[in-house]
Amino acid sequence: MKLSRLLILVVPLLLAACGLSDQQKADYAAVQRSGVSSAVYDKMMHGDALSLYDIKALARAHVSDAVTLRYLRDHGTVYTLNSSDVESLHAAGVSQSVIDYMLQTPRLYPAYPYAYPYPYGPWWGPYPYPYVYYGPYYHYHHWH
């Protein structure tokens, strides 16, 4: 009987800990009010990485830089931008602070050792199994 009482007290606390913070709720509400496309809003609600197109859409919808930067920092996506990417972000109205942060992400979130499949593992020779990488999400933009 005592265990069931304990569960009744602990389960709601655990479920509350898994929810969004007040700041995240306010940020998502601001994004939704901005009129940005539902696809971008859904990506953010699911915690997906934002593409360059998505970041441009947020800038066009006049979403605050603080909201965009908080989302990018919370999700740790690494962007490798070339000069044409930076120019297209500027042309779309993305602020310099957001672009600077995106340019810094490769240094902020360095790749783990053996992030890409090599013919040999670190100590034991050839990989006998498919390689799986669980590091930060790297978002390369070669098609924009």
What domain count does the chain have? Answer: 1
Would 51 be classed as within a structural domain?
yes
| pLDDT for residue 8 | 59
Q: What is the pTM of this model?
A: 0.65
Residue 60 tokens, joined:
């066009």
Place of tokens 């496309």: 37
CB 63 within 8 A of CB 34: yes
- Can you give the residue range of the structural domain that contains 89? 21-110+131-144
What residues in the chain have per-residue pLDDT under 50? 7, 11, 13-17, 114-116, 120-121, 123-134, 144
